[in-house]
Amino acid sequence: MNNKRTRREFVRVTATAAASVALTGRVLLSAAEPDGGVKWPIGCFNRPWHAWTYDQAVDGIKAAGYALTGLLGDHADELFLSPQATEQYLESLRERIKKRGLAVNVAWLRTRHNVPLEEAITTARKQVDHARRLGAKYLLTTGVDQPESYEHFYRVMADVSAYAEDREIQIVLKPHGGCSASAEELLRTIERVGHKNFRIWYDAGNIIHYTDADPVADISRVAEHVVGFSAKDCARRGGDVMLQFGEGKVDFQGVFARLKKVGFNGPVMVECCRGRTLAELIENAKGNRQFLERLFASL
């Protein structure tokens, strides 16, 4: 009797699903798999753990429920992508990350623009090589502040964007004042660099921190160029960014709705959270991840 009921139920559910495919082109989802929302990858940078060791940082990131991480911050005795980093150091760094069950997708590209152009290009290319060894897919620059350095920066980025493209790494520009302050500067820099492998890694919190502009209006101008996102909140120009999402002025729903509209597909990396102890950092990094998961499910 139970087996017959099970077979009848299977036939009924299968028929219902088949009818759904015929009418809508997709199978009905169960209550545990709601339709709608977006599935953008969510990761976490090491920045909140800057006062601790990098091993404590990746332990904390893993404990907060992440599988994806990025290098954006300093730790004592860590070279990361520095030109001085050896192959042995980079292999050891990759293994330390991997054994926590994490993968690196983005790292900080640090360039100098008070040195000869050839020297700056050589240093940038070396970091591309190191990023490839770590398995990163993006190298993130924050631009330059001084207008007299803009032209030098454009030329370095044009070269490194081409060099990185051949190695399947994308160069991305993060809002950070100066030539990357907000949409106007970001668009100008993209035009001046002039390479398809040079795109935007948006940061709505920094738009407020550096300019006090409205991130929703700002991102509407550049959304088609955005390939990644640093998630942080900020309450006012020059204000604290080590916040829990929702404590500041960033309209996360409005910003991500604009990105969804143009077909953005992540990744989104948590850059900041509150925390004076390791336990607080883990809990708050987890909280900011859950904030994004709830938001993405609602989009």
- Give, in degrees to the nearest 5, the angle at Cα 104 between 100 and 107: 135
Number of residues that make up the chain? 299
Cα(177)–Cα(211) distance, integer angstroms: 8
CATH top class, domain 36-298 = alpha beta
Going 170 to 174 to 179 to 181, the CA torsion angle's sign is: positive
**What is the C-alpha to C-alpha distance for residues 272 and 46, in angstroms, rounded to an integer?**
9
How far is the C-alpha of 252 from the C-alpha of 297, rounded, in Å? 13
Single-letter amino acid, residue 181: A
Angle between helix 278-298 and helix 252-261 axes, rounded to 10 deg: 50
Whose structure tokens read 């980079």? 90
Distance, in Å, from the CA atom of 204 to the CA atom of 208, rounded to the nearest integer, reads 7
**Tens digit of pLDDT at every position of the chain (299 positions):** 444 333 444 334 344 333 333 333 333 332 333 457 999 999 999 999 999 999 999 999 999 999 999 999 899 999 999 999 999 999 999 999 999 999 999 999 999 999 999 999 999 999 999 999 999 999 999 999 999 999 999 999 999 999 999 999 999 999 999 999 999 999 999 999 999 999 999 999 999 999 999 999 999 999 999 999 999 999 999 999 999 999 999 999 999 999 999 999 999 999 999 999 999 999 999 999 999 999 999 99
Domain residue ranges in the chain: 1-34, 36-298
Check if the beta carbon of residue 234 is closer than 8 Å to that of residue 243: yes
Place of tokens 């050896």: 86
Contact 111, 128 (CB under 8 A): no
Residues 233-253 as b or e (16 or more Cβ within 10 Å = b): bbbeeeeebbbbbeebbbebe
Query: Which residue type occupies 233?
Result: D
Task: List 269's β-bridge partners, or say none.
Answer: 43, 230
In the block, which residue shows the tokens 């336990």? Answer: 279
